[in-house]
Structure 1
Amino acid sequence: MSKSATSDRQPARAGIITWQLAQTFWVGGLWLLQFLVLPALGRVGLAPLLVDEIAGSLKPLLVGFAAFCSALQALVLVQVMGLRGLWRDVRGQLLLIVMMLAGSLLLMRAGWFESLYWASFSFLAMALCGLMLVLQPAPGREY
């Protein structure tokens, strides 16, 4: 029995493109802000309080965007691998960690709890999870 071209299951290219685009925006944005923009503003000669004010206004926006993009990536992963893939796959676990860190950071900013170092820790942990996620293949591209 020969296989026809329509019987082969091809990964959805739109899902792969969505995965890579969302990943580029949120992971790149986190790393760019933390390790390029804010240190550059400090080296330019802006007052440290002004740099802290800029960071305080940009970081929550970027964390919310990262939560949205990671939720979009989780939807792509569920579409490709099913709901079990979200729990059993490393990519799904990293995405869940990112969404939980983003949610806790936004809850902290809303005043639900106070912590001196939680904002810095969660932001850097999200950036590290994003870097680990970049090293994984996109869903549907496993070889």
Structure 2
Amino acid sequence: MRAGAIAWQLAQTFWVGGLWLLHFVVLPALDRIGLASMLVEEVAASLRPLLVAFAGFCALLQAVLLIQYAGLAQLWRDTRAQLLTAVLALVVVFLLVRFRMPEALYWLNFSYLLLAFCGLLLVIQPLPASSVESRAR
């Protein structure tokens, strides 16, 4: 059980932290040091889809861990499962819009920020291992 909780936290740290770090730290820092705005946009356009795809992979890993801990019967009542479902749907929407309509920048930014917000809501949820242990007591 301990390895699953560590894997949950590590995956969550990588994808949620990566999304927030890119949008609120790296891109503004590149803009602030004086890089051309087109270069900053090009960096964002190349890194965001990779980071969103990585977020989808990590969310799938978290979903597998959640199914392992909670089981399928209790899964849909769990807030973490609902957030992970929303995250996976947002990843699919972001990638589809990115490759089908790359000029839809507002929709891409909206889905990216909504993905980051869902990740933030997932961070404040308890670990699956701790909620299983508290129900067993």
TM-score, structure 1 normalization: 0.88
Q: 1:91 aligns with which of 80, 83, 86?
A: 80
More helix by share: 2
Measured at CA, do residues 74 and 56 of structure 1 come closer, stay the same or move farther in structure 2, by a change above 3 Å?
same
1:60 aligns with 2:32: no
> What SS does structure 2 have at the residue aligned with 1:117?
helix
Cα deviation for residue 137 of structure 1 reads 0.8
Larger mean Cα displacement after TM superposition, 106-115 or 45-54: 106-115
1:43 aligns with 2:32: yes
Aligned length: 132
Instruction: Give deviations 1:28-62, integer Å, cap 9, x for gaps.
Output: 00000000000000000000000000000000000
Structure 2 distance, partners of 1:137, 1:116, is: 34
1:104 paired residue number: 93
> What SS does structure 1 have at the residue aligned with 2:109?
helix
Structure 1 distance, partners of 2:46, 2:102, is: 19
1:16 aligns with 2:5: yes
1:140 paired residue number: 129
1:73 aligns with 2:58: no
Instruction: Give deviations 1:87-116, integer Å, cap 9, x for gaps.
Output: 210001001100000011111122168634
Alignment-mate amino acid for residue 95 of structure 1: L
Structure 1 distance, partners of 2:46, 2:72, is: 35
TM-score, structure 2 normalization: 0.91
Unaligned runs of 5+ in 2: none
Larger Rg: 1
Alignment-mate amino acid for residue 73 of structure 1: Q
Unaligned runs of 5+ in 1: 1-11
Runs of 4+ with deviation above 4 angstroms: none
Structure 2 distance, partners of 1:51, 1:116, is: 14
1:128 aligns with 2:117: yes
Measured at CA, do residues 113 and 82 of structure 1 come closer, stay the same or move farther in structure 2, by a change above 3 Å?
farther
